[in-house]
């Protein structure tokens, strides 16, 4: 049976703004308080989805969340009507209002960890929503994420959903941003590669000194247990703490993998040789031939990687077996990175083509092409069981761009977040979106 890697991209929500909320994420910190353009952000994301669909890749869409999250503000003690809750938060605790308005759910690589059916003990596709508990504005995403994923992958014969891990720092889980799957074919058993930033309970593992390590080893181990992965089908590796301190807040800022290939920076991991040998041995047992492409620091520095998001690219397999890299425009703007990419594609290796996308609105908050997508490997039967409303088609693309044009503002700054009208605009837009994507009621304002 034929199998596919389906990319579900996060649709940028109507409150996209630059809140400076993510300590350790250089772009988020340096663009804090700039005004944003939510309409442009959503259209940039949709343009990438359309382009991939037109290239023949399977493409889906993941809905944004209800923001401002009035229920979250109520849990923090703000009371009254919805408009009063927003007004009071704006007056007494602006940073909390900003956090409750973040459109951060767009970075769906952090929505969940997904294990394909060929890897799991019960032969179903498993999803664990990420608790994202390192940052308050992201920790409020998982309940709606779970409802949206449940509405997209509803058939329990094929799909199993797990609630987010306990919401404490020891189980910090950032989803697929620290998870890669290697395989010979998407439908065959593969090796799931979990990268963690620190251990919560074992002091032998070093930790970064400056910025937080968001993913713990204990969280990765728990996800692998929940999904029923075999020991032969998993490899764990630690991120180099010094790159976290340079702004590599997720592993997908410094490495990307697909099929049998890992594309990574020389400084990305600790004990790299041991890790590569284990990946090679375990993929070998699944009939695969593991290959790695190491980008040397002499050609691309960690700073270049963080600024250009070279590794936050999508590595896609084409029908002829070669690979294509989807990179953000910022890679073209960095001379060393661009030169590296030219030599990579002309060297006769596996990666033959680079395609550049303008995702500036998302990039300014630290979200590149890979952050914006959640990969789900599915066989034909499973793909047929996905809610068809969320699969990208030319008509859906047309409907969604019109929907964005109708409902999104083209400028948002901090003061605008206090406007109670913004909440009404968002709810009106999202209510319509759930009908377009055939999701049913998934948002708090629809179910409470």
The set of catalytic residues is: 174, 250, 371
Which residue, 28 or 117, has its beta carbon nearer to ligand SUG? 28
The angle at the Cα of 307, spanning 113 to 374, to the nearest 5 degrees, equals: 20
Which residue, 117 or 312, has its beta carbon nearer to ligand SUG? 312
Distance CA 428, CA 432 (A): 6
Distance CA 357, CA 171 (A): 34
Which residue, 57 or 249, has its beta carbon nearer to ligand SUG? 249
Burial bucket for residue 97 (CB in 10 Å: 0-12, 13-18, 19+): buried
Distance CA 48, CA 42 (A): 10
Element (H, E) at 378: strand 373-379
The residue written with tokens 């799909």 in the block is: 159
Smallest gap, in angstroms, from Cβ of residue 139 to ligand SUG?
A: 11
Smallest gap, in angstroms, from Cβ of residue 31 to ligand SUG?
A: 8
Smallest gap, in angstroms, from Cβ of residue 22 to ligand SUG?
A: 3
Angle at which helix 394-407 crosses helix 420-436, to 10 degrees, equals 170
Whole-angstrom CA distances from 231 to 183, 228, 277, 309, 440 are 15, 10, 15, 32, 38
The strand pairing partners of 6, in sequence order, are: 376
Whole-angstrom CA distances from 240 to 48, 176, 222, 366 are 31, 18, 22, 19
Smallest gap, in angstroms, from Cβ of residue 124 to ligand SUG?
A: 25
Distance CA 114, CA 180 (A): 10
For residue 295, give the nearest of 304, 283, 286 by alpha carbon: 304
Rounded to 5 degrees, φ, ψ at 210 are: -110, -60
Which residue, 198 or 250, has its beta carbon nearer to ligand SUG? 250
The token duo for 114 is 């997904």
For residue 324, give the nearest of 5, 40, 1 by alpha carbon: 5
Smallest gap, in angstroms, from Cβ of residue 168 to ligand SUG?
A: 18
Q: Which residues bind ligand SUG (CB under 6 A)?
A: 18-22, 25, 28, 102, 104, 107, 109-110, 138, 177, 249-250, 252-253, 365-367, 371
Smallest gap, in angstroms, from Cβ of residue 186 to ligand SUG?
A: 21
Which residue, 102 or 280, has its beta carbon nearer to ligand SUG? 102
Which residue, 20 or 116, has its beta carbon nearer to ligand SUG? 20
Distance CA 194, CA 174 (A): 11
Which residue, 158 or 179, has its beta carbon nearer to ligand SUG? 179
Smallest gap, in angstroms, from Cβ of residue 185 to ligand SUG?
A: 25
Distance CA 76, CA 18 (A): 22
């Amino acid at each position: 049976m034929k199998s596919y890697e389906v990319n579900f991209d996060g649709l940028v929500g109507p409150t996209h703004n630059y809140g400076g909320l993510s300590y350790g994420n250089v772009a988020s910190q340096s663009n804090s308080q700039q005004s944003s353009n939510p309409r442009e952000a959503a259209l940039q994301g949709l343009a990438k989805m359309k382009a991939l669909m037109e290239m023949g890749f399977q493409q889906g869409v993941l809905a944004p969340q209800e923001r401002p999250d009035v229920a979250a503000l109520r849990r923090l003690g703000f009371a009254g009507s919805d408009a009063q809750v927003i007004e009071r938060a704006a007056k007494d605790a602006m940073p909390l209002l900003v956090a409750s308005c973040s459109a951060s759910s767009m970075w769906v690589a952090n929505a969940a960890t997904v294990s394909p059916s060929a890897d799991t003990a019960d032969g179903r596709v498993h999803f664990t929503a990420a608790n994202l508990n390192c940052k308050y504005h992201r920790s409020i995403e998982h309940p709606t994420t779970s409802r949206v994923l449940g509405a997209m992958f509803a058939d329990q014969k094929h799909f199993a959903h797990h609630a987010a891990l306990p919401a404490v720092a020891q189980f910090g889980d950032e989803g697929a941003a620290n998870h890669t799957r290697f395989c010979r074919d998407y439908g065959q058993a593969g090796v799931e590669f979990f990268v963690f930033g620190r251990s919560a309970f074992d002091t032998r593992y070093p930790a970064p000194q400056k910025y937080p390590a968001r993913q713990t080893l204990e969280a990765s181990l728990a996800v692998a247990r929940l999904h029923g992965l075999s020991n032969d089908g998993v490899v764990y590796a630690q991120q180099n703490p010094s790159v976290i301190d340079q702004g590599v807040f997720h592993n997908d800022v410094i490495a990307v993998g697909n099929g049998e290939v890992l594309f990574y920076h020389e400084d990305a991991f600790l004990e790299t040789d041991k890790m590569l040998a284990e990946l090679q041995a375990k993929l070998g047992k699944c009939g695969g031939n593991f290959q790695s492409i190491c980008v040397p620091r002499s050609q691309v520095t960690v700073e270049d990687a963080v600024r250009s998001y070279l590794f936050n690219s999508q590595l896609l397999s084409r029908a002829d077996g070669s690979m294509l890299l989807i990179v953000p425009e910022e890679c073209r703007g960095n001379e060393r990175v661009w030169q590296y990419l030219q030599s990579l594609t002309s060297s006769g290796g596996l990666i033959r083509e680079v395609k550049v996308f303008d995702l500036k609105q998302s990039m300014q908050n630290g979200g590149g092409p890979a952050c914006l997508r959640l990969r789900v490997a599915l066989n034909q039967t499973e793909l047929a069981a996905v809610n068809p409303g969320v699969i990208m088609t030319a008509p859906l693309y047309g409907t969604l761009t019109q929907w964005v044009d109708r409902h999104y503002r083209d400028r948002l700054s901090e003061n605008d977040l206090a406007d109670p009208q913004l909440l009404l605009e968002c709810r009106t837009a999202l209510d319509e979106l759930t009908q377009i994507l055939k999701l049913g009621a998934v948002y708090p304002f629809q179910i409470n």
